[in-house]
Chain A
Amino acid sequence: MLQLADLVVRLPDGRHAVDGVSLALEAGRCLVLLGESGCGKSLTALSLLRLLPEGVTIAGGQARLAEQDLFSLPERQMRGWRGGRLAMVFQEPMSSLNPVLTIAAQIEEALVAHGSSQTVASLLADVDLPPQHAQSYPFQLSGGQRQRALIAMMLAGEPEILIADEPTTALDVTVQAQILRLLRDLQAKRRMALLLITHDLGIAREMADTVAVLYAGQVVEEAPASALFACTARHPYTRALMQVTPSLGRRGQPLSSLPGSVPMAGDWPRGCRFAPRCGQVQPRCRELAPPLEHGVRCLFPLDQAVASPPSIAAQPLADATSTQGAPLLQVEDLCVHYPIRRGLWQRTVNWVRAVDGVSLHLNRGETLALVGESGCGKSSLARALLRLQPQATVRGRIRLHGEEVLNLRGADLHAFRSRAQIVFQDPFSSLNPRMRVGDILEEGLQALRPEMGPSARRQQIERMLNRVGLDASAMPRYPHAFSGGQRQRLAIARALCVEPQLLILDEPTSALDVSVQAQVLALLRALQDEHGLAYLFITHNLPLVGYFADRVVVMRGGKIVEAGATEIVMAAPKHPYTQALLASAPG
């Protein structure tokens, strides 16, 4: 139905971010555009709507829809086609909806714009949003409801093609599953073509009829999903992507490594763009740019039948779990309550019980996964463990090494801080953009190890940088000069500088590409083996838990609903909530 041919997208500085992408969309089918960050997948989608950011231009190619080239339509006509024939659902539903208009008003606006005969009520029914939400404002809805409202708006013009750019990345797993199901149902019912953009192999496997894998601005492999996911990916990159994705089945095995990271737009190597990271690279690959032949862009495509599916039987990890004496961290009946203050004198009128009676323990050298959806209190718990909750009332007992953490004051609190550290989710906000890497790493040492001299500090910093795979040349540079994965390594090095025993990992890989995630996980595993670190691994990603954690604790509404060894919880969850979580995980 829609034929995109040889799309080239040029950035303001003349580099090409998308370099000859061809795709075909068919009514009633779902094409998944799969790729890591920076491969050009979002720009491809935006080009179809001609909504590229300022300065970014379509430098070549055609997009034929009903014998018309979208790229040569006058803007006036294009405006009618946007939403009318092609519609797009964005990642962040909060910023896609106008906060001061009701849902009904916004859907109505779209209906009027397209002269549609549908009604607000029918559209809301189509997206399974109860009719009483029509008069709600966006902030009154949950993330999933907002995404439904947005989809309803997009359906107002009865589009033939629906483009969804990471529509569920900002949502919890259970909600994500619902939205994906909704998209699939709508697509079938309305005979739309669906172009779904994602970085998540699980989502691709669940949704796609056809998958196009994008790498460095080019389609490197295009194949029917059924063929691709039967583990017969023929391009080394696709194969590697599948092998670096953690899962319960790969427990105990190292993830195969995909070195380096996706090259920046325009910084592409000569010859095959994947050659520098490819395991099967041959001399010719570095010279000759391979064409896309039989759905794969590789001079030496892999055989279809080689790979055998990984063994599914979960193996217990190396026996680090066996408890030697008392646990390192023991939490008993911990409550973190935030006061809600009102009025002139800020009287406390109520409490938000973010964490409400949580007990857990963690041994040396062990990884405990804390799983839960947003708002379940897992981050509050992490901050309370580190005594970073000045605004909240924290009750209960936290013992690290038998020491009552909640009673620590002054010098003792300082000593505690060097024993427990944290790595945050977003490596872009966790490093001060105006400090040099050397200063960032030195900060903890200056505060916690005042007895160390400048040269000793420098040695320690260099040692840690080397340990995380960087070197001393990083020290005079600013964080923005590093990629996401490198920044996360810096954040890990910063925490390790003060030689902690407990490391709280707050979604440490969820902002990273899968290939980089595998590298960071391997690093964390090696560090744990070396130093006997205990990890409290906070995440919402269940396959990752299955791969990485020894034990798992599932949290909901500030309480623990299920706890146990990972193999057992993942294989036979007892609590209905854990079962729902597992059932929702894509893939």
Chain B
Amino acid sequence: MMGIQPTLLISDAVLFLLLAGVGVYVWRSRRSESARATWRRVFAARMGRWSAWVMAFFVSVGVFDSLHFRVAVETPAGQAQQYSGEVLSVLDTVLTPLRTASEKTYSAPLATTLLVKESVTLADGTVARLAPAIAHVHPLGTDKVGQDVLYLALKSVRTGLLIGTLTTLVMLPLACALGIAAGYWGGRVDDAIQYLYTTLNSIPGVLLIAAAVLVVDVQIDAHGEWFNSAAARADLRLLALCAILGLTGWTGLARLLRAETLKLRELDYIQAARAFGVSHGRILARHVLPNVAHLVIITVVLDFSGLVLAEAVLSYVGAGVDPATPSFGNMINAARLELAREPVVWWPLATAFAFLFTLVLAANLFADAVRAAFDPRGAG
């Protein structure tokens, strides 16, 4: 029996913290009757229920893919136990047949032979050109290096979810704090914040992000001793990418929130709160934030697909996630060459498209159900 060593990547830790946060929220809202009623409304709606199931599927794929470990390798007796450099996840073990069943190169979905013909020396000594038979059946085909596309797509879910949520986690506080502050206080605060985001917006986004990613890359390359595995290294690169996307991506939402807050702060209920001497912090938390929440939800969910695509664009200029990390961006990026082939290799792109489409659509519908349930006008 070979031992295993659990491995915690930084992104895993962040993901589990996030899940713990959701857990605390669920636990707290279970005790409040009104919160329970609101969430019941979310799941009572057919769209809400179905999209929640789809989201739950994607999230559990992501979570299982975040339980990382390393397998023990044969070590001579008397020495400390050595572990393999390859970091696997629980998802990998579940998908072992798909993971290990690799071919030489491209094969179409459910095909029995490879896509390309090869010169094969037959038993009678003649050389024939034919497509060699493949060892396993791949429901969605294989990619250039013969990896199963379904496996790749499932592995990409974690990357997509991480980019979507972690970037939002970085972007949201910035956008909310700066946008609402600019709208609420106005004057010089507003001037400073507007100056900041106008400047940020006037620099071409891809250029700024690519430059930042390259700087991070240099740092990572210079400090190889920080990482004990290639996975840890790729993981840090992914986190850095999320942080950079977040730091540059808050301007759109901030502008929306600023405009909405400008409108809200003149409303009588905020004036009334000020007449009660309610502190600014409390006014922002109780009167402004809940009334801009619908904007936040809509923007965040719509941005989600944009972020995954941004990752693809960045992979194109070589500034995306690590090329070894399975991601929808990398899959889409590879399609550039695959679509130019004859015969066309369409399945990796189609798979990435189908997965992304389902994920983003489910997220949108779920967010819509949540927004509707939290709108007091629908509560009766």
Contact = CB atoms under 8 A, between A and B. Distances in A.
A413 to B, nearest CB: 7
A386 B291 contact: no
Interface in A439-489: 439-440, 443-444, 447-448, 476, 478, 480-481
B291 A346 contact: no
Given A388-B271, A424-B271, A435-B286, A478 B276 contact: no
A294 interface: no
A186 B277 CA distance: 53
Nearest first, the 8 A-B pairs at minimum CB distance are A430-B268, A478-B376, A424-B268, A444-B276, A434-B290, A417-B277, A432-B269, A447-B278
A480 B276 contact: no
B326 to A, nearest CB: 42
B289 to A, nearest CB: 9
A429 interface: yes
B76 interface: no
24 contacts: A346-B187, A346-B191, A386-B275, A413-B277, A414-B277, A421-B276, A422-B271, A422-B272, A429-B267, A429-B268, A430-B269, A432-B269, A432-B290, A433-B376, A434-B291, A443-B276, A443-B286, A444-B278, A447-B273, A447-B277, A447-B282, A478-B377, A480-B376, A498-B276
Q: How large is the interface on A (under 10, 10 to 19, 20 to 34, 35 or more residues)?
A: 35 or more
Contacts of B276: 417, 421, 443-444, 447-448, 498
Nearest to A435: B286
Given A346-B191, A434-B291, A434-B376, A421 B268 contact: no
Interface of B: 34, 186-188, 191, 267-269, 271-279, 282, 286-287, 290-291, 376-377, 379-380
B273 A443 contact: yes
A433 B291 contact: yes
A394 interface: no
B62 to A, nearest CB: 32
B34 A476 contact: yes
A432 B269 CA distance: 6
B291 A432 contact: yes
Interface string A490-529: 0100110010000000000000000000000000000000
Contacts of B271: 383, 388, 422, 424
A432 B188 contact: no
Interface in A399-438: 413-414, 417, 420-422, 424-426, 429-435
A498 B273 CA distance: 12
A140 B135 CA distance: 79
Nearest to A480: B377
A476 B267 CA distance: 23
Contact of B275 (A417, A429, A432): A417
Contacts of A420: 275
Contact of B269 (A431, A448, A495): A431
Contacts of B376: 433-434, 478, 480
A441 to B, nearest CB: 11
Contacts of A480: 376-377
A89 B255 CA distance: 37
A380 B16 CA distance: 52
A285 to B, nearest CB: 31
Contacts of B188: 346
Contacts of A388: 271, 274-275
B286 A421 contact: no
A85 B379 CA distance: 45
B190 to A, nearest CB: 10
Contacts of A414: 277
A229 B167 CA distance: 69
A432 B276 CA distance: 14
Nearest to B279: A447
Contacts of B379: 478
Contacts of B191: 346
Contacts of B277: 413-414, 417, 447-448
B193 to A, nearest CB: 14
B282 A432 contact: no
Nearest to B291: A434
B377 A429 contact: no
Select the residue from B268, B271, B273 with max chain A CB neighbours within 10 A. B268
B275 A422 contact: yes
A391 B269 CA distance: 18
Contacts of A422: 271-272, 275
B272 A424 contact: yes
Contact of B286 (A413, A425, A432, A433): A432
A494 B286 CA distance: 16
Nearest to A424: B268
A88 B380 CA distance: 36
Contacts of A443: 273, 276, 278, 286
Given A432-B286, A440-B269, A447-B279, 13 more contacts: A383-B271, A421-B275, A424-B271, A425-B268, A429-B267, A430-B269, A432-B287, A432-B290, A433-B377, A434-B290, A448-B277, A480-B377, A481-B380
Contacts of A478: 376-377, 379
B375 to A, nearest CB: 8
A71 B290 CA distance: 45
A421 B277 CA distance: 11
Contacts of B272: 422, 424, 430, 491, 494-495
Select the residue from B188, B191, B277, B291 with max chain A CB neighbours within 10 A. B277
Contacts of A439: 286
Nearest to B377: A480
Select the residue from A421, A425, A430 with max chain B CB neighbours within 10 A. A430
B343 to A, nearest CB: 51
A476 B376 CA distance: 12
A434 to B, nearest CB: 4
B37 to A, nearest CB: 11
A467 to B, nearest CB: 18
Nearest to B267: A429
A344 to B, nearest CB: 9
